[in-house]
Chains A and B, each alone.
Chain A
């Protein structure tokens, strides 16, 4: 792809976003290893997918995620302090510590939630797009889900609904090759997820999800299509999770070291960095400054989270209903 329209600002924002995600995930891992949270599904390796897409969204647009959603949240502009606090179950977390790593949400920033039930958010995102359509707001709804989730019936029902109603929803499948220990080639009949869009009369695109520039191009088109009222798009981003499924598991139990290395050699941050330097969009020193500020932001979030108090016992029974009469 030529990447003709990706300017310096976009590139640097995407670079910074991806580096922030990576540092955040590395730190979350350390917090989990220290026993402060139990499992956590790391998004390391998959940073480019939400980053390239969210580059075209603003605060009024919506994103919905999965059990593995820290990267979606950061790409959508969520506050790192409140995210890290949520991971540690603290009262200053996005959900007052009541939702945790699989349920981060921030409605003010258009993040309508990570979700622990595989596939569950796909129709919800379709409904969010319905609101935009009924109210004529020009908002876009983006839902991320995994290759494993593509086998849930709700994806098919949602693509059909969005297809007949031409809803401004973008279905983004992060095909990281595995659902837990099950490889994609075993679970997906026909070998392609994007092809399934054909049956619903909507565009289906397969893209290199390790290239944030490619994600940017594909995202631009899908968002423009949604805003123009032309309906949904299904994007299958080819990506890879570097870590185990939830942290404690060893991915080499079901895949080879060579395969892992193949993807790590195509790392999204490394190739974005190379693109920036080769195109002289920025100096090396500028990128180093970005690197340092991302790390500082994550360190600050870690300190904030660790210093924050746990929720009061009364919180247990609050927020069950809006009103109790």
Chain B
């Protein structure tokens, strides 16, 4: 058997789709709602016309029916709020918020209801809601369809936030999110959906633990921390830095809330230098949060101040040459690393 036959490679989109399908099979209380997640309305001849704008939900309506796989009108406040209510009363809804920028339409439901009900009601009500949403620039889609924004949600106690970086952890985190009794937001980067991955993805169900990061590769000279798509950028940068003779550790954060502080700190205590690569706006970002964590908890170990590579404090530009300057890339990460490495 060749290596290719021994492993099972599926796309990021297929991984999310498989996690949804298997959880729908396993647990009858799981339902899925969102715009065009099936498509075609109630027209029998056009059922599953889209299967989601990114095809994340393709085939689900045919297998599980319209009672559980629900196309919604364009009413985010309505259907995300309905997801909260359904979750609090016995279902495990997965709600698709097409692009994270549309959170504004339904922010009240996420931050005032989903995040707070368990706490306000003295721990007696649970909201096992999963929201999956698309993030990221690099697709020539301009300011309202390219944001990252996960840091906003980490600001709120009560919300869990995860960012998969490949098909393996996408499937595992999605499964874990659906089974989790807290509201979980799964941030799926759009660029990852178009890429090929070599990772093996088991067909059987498994979970990737929420709250844990993963060491992608071990090294001694510097730690690069990536989130979702930027983990890939970190791996590219690591390769280049290794060619220059450095030993690089790459940490894939995976979970932003709760965050794996221990793993971050122990890596930084070892390498004594850290670059955090985060596509979100720089102010009040995850990168800023990690930078503060490291400064507060590992100050004595540091050989240099923590460095952050974020998008700039500007909206995402449409024009392609500007957009290319906007997103964190290998060159920026290598540059930041070299500034602190010696």
Contact = CB atoms under 8 A, between A and B. Distances in A.
Q: Do A and B come from one complex?
A: yes
A182 to B, nearest CB: 5
Interface residues of A, number: 44
A151 B41 contact: no
Contact of B36 (A102, A182, A185, A317): A182
Contact of A97 (B46, B101, B141, B318): B318
Interface string B130-142: 0000000001111
Given A38-B141, A117-B144, A153-B78, A182 B321 contact: no
A114 to B, nearest CB: 10
Contact of B318 (A89, A183, A253): A89
Nearest to B144: A116
Interface string A166-186: 000000000000011111011
Contacts of B46: 181, 253-255
B75 interface: yes
Interface residues of B, number: 42
Interface string A134-167: 0000000000000011011100000000000000
A39 interface: yes
Contact of A148 (B50, B73, B104, B322): B73
Nearest to A90: B319
Contacts of A115: 144
A320 B314 contact: yes
A32 B50 CA distance: 22
Contacts of B36: 179-182
A275 B39 CA distance: 38
A99 B320 CA distance: 11
B252 interface: no
B42 A186 contact: yes
B145 A183 contact: no
Contact of B39 (A148, A149, A182, A316): A182
B58 to A, nearest CB: 12
A56 interface: no
B319 A185 contact: no
B43 interface: yes
Contacts of B263: none
Interface in B139-172: 139-145
Interface stretch (A18-26, A68-76, A307-315): A307-315
B40 A183 contact: yes
B320 A89 contact: yes
A152 B74 contact: yes
Contact of A181 (B50, B78, B320, B322): B50
A100 interface: yes
B101 A254 contact: no
Nearest to B76: A152
B142 A151 contact: no
Interface string B68-112: 000111111110000000000000000000000110110000000
B319 A89 contact: yes
B315 interface: yes
Contacts of B75: 151-153
B295 interface: no
B184 to A, nearest CB: 24
Nearest to B145: A116
Given A179-B74, A254-B50, A311 B319 contact: yes
B53 interface: yes
Given A180-B36, A182-B41, A254-B50, A98 B319 contact: yes
B341 interface: no
B317 A181 contact: no
B215 interface: no
A103 B143 contact: yes
Contact of B322 (A102, A179, A255, A315): A315
Contacts of A293: none
16 contacts: A89-B319, A97-B319, A97-B322, A98-B318, A100-B141, A117-B104, A149-B74, A180-B35, A180-B53, A183-B43, A187-B71, A253-B49, A254-B41, A311-B321, A315-B317, A316-B314
Interface of A: 37-39, 89-90, 95-103, 115-120, 148-149, 151-153, 179-183, 185-188, 253-255, 310-311, 313, 315-317, 320
The 6 closest A-B CB pairs, nearest first, are A186-B41, A100-B318, A89-B319, A181-B39, A151-B73, A97-B319
Given A118-B74, A179-B36, A310-B321, 15 more contacts: A89-B318, A95-B318, A97-B322, A98-B315, A99-B142, A103-B318, A117-B102, A117-B105, A148-B73, A153-B77, A181-B36, A254-B40, A255-B46, A315-B317, A317-B312
